Amino acid sequence: MTKHLDPDRLLPSEALVAFVAWLTTRREVTTMSVAHDSAGPAQLVGDFIAVNQLRDPRPESVDHEIRQPEYPGGQPFPTDSAAVLDQARGGGTNLNPTP
């Protein structure tokens, strides 16, 4: 029998590691970059949140810049966190890249 962690006790780092581990077990390829629409990955985040009964991200969390590792070769393309959050929740936000 598989044991599941209590969602209220799951550390953010554990959720990130589990999400990436789950991605590596899927037969489908998930491509993420500034040149690709983020709707697919956002939907996967929403699926992961739902199946693990995690709390939805706080709406105000998208108004704050989350620190990112150094980006080799320059600054990363700015993300539209609000749009990604909306898509993860099943919204209809258009996430086509606009480099």
The whole-angstrom separation of Cα 67 and Cα 9 is 23
Question: Does residue 45 fall inside a structural domain?
Answer: yes
Residue 55 lies in a domain: yes
Highest-pLDDT range among 10-14, 24-28, 94-98 = 24-28
Residue 69 domain-assigned? no
Residues 61-97: tens digit of each pLDDT? 766 666 766 766 666 555 666 666 676 777 655 544 4
- Structural domain of 55: 9-24+36-61+79-94
* Rounded Cα gap, residues 19 and 58, in angstroms: 19
Structure tokens given for 18: 């589990």
Q: Is 4 inside a domain boundary?
A: no
Domain count, the chain: 1
Domain contains 1: no
d(CA 77, CA 68): 12
This model's pTM is above 0.85: no
In a domain, residue 18? The reply is yes
Report yes or no on 2 lying in a domain: no
User: Which two three-digit tokens encode residue 99?
Assistant: 């480099």
